Amino acid sequence: MNTTALILMISTMGIVTFITGYFYYKVLKTPPKEGDDDRPEGFYEGG
């Protein structure tokens, strides 16, 4: 593998990893919307 291909592969992997991490962070830190409960009335959660 030549140097150009290695640089391209590493930079692509870094960019994809960063974007994936960013969106995982965004999903986990975004609070749910008000009234965003899909459960039917009287739903038993267990426990």
| pLDDT (tens digit per residue) in 8-36 | 999 999 999 999 999 999 999 988 777 66
Inform me whether the pLDDT recorded for 7 exceeds 80. yes
User: Is-above-0.75 flag for pTM?
Assistant: no
- Structural domain contains residue 14: yes
Inform me whether the pLDDT recorded for 39 exceeds 90. no
Give the confidence band of 44 by pLDDT, cuts at 50, 70, 90: confident
The 10 Å CB-count burial string (b at 16+, else e) for 30-47 is eeeeeeeeeeeeeeeeee
Q: Number of folded domains in the chain?
A: 1
Question: 15 is in which domain, residue-wise?
Answer: 1-27
- Structural domain contains residue 44: no
- Structural domain contains residue 13: yes
